[in-house]
Amino acid sequence: MPTLSQYSRHLSILIPAVGTADFPGMLVDMLRELVPCQDTTILLYPATDLPVIEYFDIPEDGGNSTLDVFVRGAFLLDPFYLTATRDRKFGVFRLRDLSPTGFKDSEYYRSWYRNCGYQDECG
């Protein structure tokens, strides 16, 4: 289990990097040391534009990412996006906690999620 000293050490390196091109990768490195994860993506949501992919892991199998489909419109149905924009809730959530009843029958699931390769996600 990560210790407070590990977290503090990471923050001491991360905070000066805020606003630099290195920040997203440094943030991911910190998170990976503190929490196990297989895939990491950082998206920015400008108020009046499509999302921007700030950071993503290239698939290990060399396959294609489905993020292009996501940022062109699927994000509008994403439970994380809806929780933040519609419900005004902020924090870290698991997809299974945000997904509506019948998620696997939803347009979002059919048009994007079932093809993205994720089993569960948090954001």
Tell me, yes or no, whether 60 and 113 share the same domain: yes
Task: Identify the domain containing residue 53 by its residue range.
Answer: 38-123
Q: Are residues 43 and 73 in the same domain?
A: yes
Q: Are residues 75 and 44 in the same domain?
A: yes
Q: pTM value?
A: 0.79
Torsion of CA 40, 69, 113, 61, to 10 degrees: -50
pLDDT in tens, 33-88: 888 887 888 998 888 899 999 998 876 765 567 888 899 999 999 999 999 999 99
Q: Is 30 found in the same domain as 4? A: yes
pLDDT of amino acid 23: 96
Helix axes 23-34, 4-14, angle to 10 degrees: 180
Domain check: are 61 and 3 in the same one? no
> Could you tell me if 31 and 68 lie in one domain?
no
Please tell me whether residues 19 and 61 are part of one structural domain. Answer: no
* pLDDT tens digits for range 10-36: 999 999 999 999 999 999 999 888 888
